Amino acid sequence: MKAAIVDLDTGDLLSERMRIDTPQPATPEAMAEVVCELIVGLDWAGPLGVAFPAVVRRGVVGSAANIDKSWLDVDADALFTEASGLDVHMLNDADAAGIAEMRFGVGAQADGSPRPGVVMMLTFGTGIGSGLFVDGVLVPNTELGHLELDGHDAEKQAAAKVRDRDDLSWKDWAGRAERYLRHVEALFSPDLFIIGGGISKKPDKWLPHIEIDTEILPAEMANNSGIVGAALVMETHQR
């Protein structure tokens, strides 16, 4: 679990990223304790945004594909707010990453406004997360890593961790990623794919091996995108 203080005007981190290992089991109560440790460590007393790998509807967790099943139907906003004493709002982690990229990364235009059209943020890591934007407006909780592809959850075939699991070369992994991207392309006809996650730092390894019709760009915000996007959500809630 990672946290930092964010400058909402620039997207820069105003502190070091603080990291604490996720507790095991990662129950709501155990993670709430770590959130409080992070807050104390950063000496933070303001509103808090949290990016989380699940469907989140108005602060309530609605899926548990990659998290402890005890999170299902938990009002995470209420839990973390009560535990910390701060105003807390949670959102899907890929949605948060996309919000950051649309404001400060490759999804932003020269004047700072979000790129128009249909933009799809995809994060390749342990799984595949997705953030869908239409003329800069987020369509939340798309969770397109769980699309069925060749009879499987897509992320089980094309997530970044699969490269190590199946001992794939970058070219072979890119072939799987391309198969997935073509599937998403056929469903949504996006104007741009933004690819985030750890692989965004090594685009030369995989991007030359992917040929699709849609423009595809590596994300710029890297590992800070979720933190920055979560902070930007609080900007909306504070209005």
For 37, the token pair is 């440790």
CATH number at residue 229: 3.30.420.40
**pLDDT classification of 196: cutoffs 50, 70, 90:** very high
Do 70 and 119 share a domain, yes or no?
A: no
Residues 162 and 76 in one domain: no
* 87 and 18 together in one domain: yes
Whether residue 212 sits in one domain with residue 113: yes
Does residue 217 share a domain with residue 159?
yes
Residue 131 and residue 57 share a domain:
no
Segments forming the whole domain that contains residue 156 = 96-222
Q: Are residues 63 and 11 in the same domain?
A: yes
Pair (106, 198) in one structural domain: yes
Q: What is the mean pLDDT of residues 14-32?
A: 97
* Mean pLDDT computed over 102-118: 96
* Shared domain check, 164 and 52: no
pLDDT in tens, 111-170: 999 999 999 999 999 999 999 999 999 999 999 999 999 899 999 999 999 999 999 999
Tokens of 98: 């996309």
Instruction: Say if residue 34 is in the same domain as residue 116.
Output: no
Residue 206 and residue 162 share a domain: yes
Domains held by the chain: number: 2
- Do residue 65 and residue 183 come from a single domain? no
How many angstroms from the chain centroid is the CA of residue 143?
10
Cα distances (angstroms) measured from residue 23 to each of 56, 78, 85: 21, 20, 21
* Per-residue pLDDT at 239 exceeds 70: no
**Residue 79 vs residues 33, 39, 159: alpha-carbon distances, Å:** 10, 15, 31
Confidence of residue 235 (pLDDT cuts 50, 70, 90): confident
- Bridge partner list, 50: 90
Question: Is residue 132 a contact partner of residue 139, using CB atoms and an 8 Å limit?
Answer: yes
